[in-house]
Amino acid sequence: MAAQPANNPVAYLNGLYLPLEEARISPLDRGFLFADGVYEVIPCYNGRPFRLKQHIERLIRSLDAILLPSPHTETEWTDLLNGLVQRNGGGHQSLYVQVTRGAPTLRDHRFPDHGPATVFALSQTLEDPESRLLDAETGIRAMTCADTRWSHCDIKSVALLANVLLRHEARQAGCDEAILIRDGHVTEGATSNIFVVQKGELLTPPLGPHILDGITRDLVIELAQQYEIPVREAPIAETQLAQADEIWISSSTRGARPVVLLDGQPVGDGRPGALWRTMAEHYAAFRQALMQ
């Protein structure tokens, strides 16, 4: 299938592939009115969605959590998303998928009695992963913020206003990410999961209602276990964060990136740490193998 011009991206909406600029959703859609929906973000390298099965499984778990039956099977989701990648010319892309409870005829908090879900997906160009790895060599800046989000952060909900405000607060302070603290312990970042290194051991907060089961988080843990890097899921106190030898963030489109400055103070010696460099090599090799 011929590649689409970069300025004419193709989207998917309720069974149709169409130019993004022609996609239209009703103002009565419950995603618009109530944030009644869930989403996924999936990176693609050389036209191949990265860990697609895991992303689809998480999407279906989020749908189950909000009592919205999945409008597609795993196989149908796979075909739909691969079709979107192909129609946008392959290469490196970032897929956004959103499913809402649809657009009934009236605005009402109650679940609608009938009507299909709204399924929308779009593709955006993703930077070359190797160039982003080089960018990561300089590290990022982060600040701690109180976790003001709701109590079901394990659902990948489209209700992201708290995350948006926290990320904006960090950007206003000259930082790249906000690391969130709840009841004296680290939960996650505004747009990422968190890892810390202490005395050669890699730690990440255990899963629960305040933490999203990150696909990249899982991969980092898998790679650590494969290459015999000590790794453990354990609560991380705010005081531990301040004393960490290394801090990393992880997300699907950024991979694992080192934090070199936290609340204005250097993390370790203020440069990406040795364990992060080791993990970055393993992560890049894993991704490269899938791009062949």
The Cβ of residue 187 has, within 10 Å, a number of other Cβ atoms equal to: 21
Q: Give me the residue spans of the domains in the chain.
A: 10-126, 132-291
* Angle, helix 129-136 to helix 274-291, in steps of 10 degrees: 180
pTM: 0.94
pLDDT for residue 155: 98
pLDDT band at 38 (very low <50, low <70, confident <90, very high): very high
172, 223, 241, 251 from 182: Cα distances, Å:
22, 28, 13, 20
- Classify domain 132-291 by CATH architecture: Alpha-Beta Barrel (3.20)
Query: What are 226-278's pLDDT values in tens digits?
Result: 999 999 999 999 999 999 999 999 999 999 999 999 999 999 999 999 999 99
Assess contact for 42 and 49: CB atoms under 8 A.
Answer: yes
H/E segment holding residue 278: helix 274-291
Q: In this structure, what token pair is assigned to residue 2? A: 């011929």
Assess contact for 123 and 95: CB atoms under 8 A.
Answer: yes
199 is catalytic: no
Could you give the CA distance from residue 225 to residue 15 in angstroms, rounded to a whole number?
41
Residue of 149, 156, 254, 257 marked catalytic: 156
pLDDT for residue 6: 56
User: In the CATH hierarchy, which fold is given to the domain comprising 10-126?
Assistant: D-amino Acid Aminotransferase; Chain A, domain 1 (3.30.470)
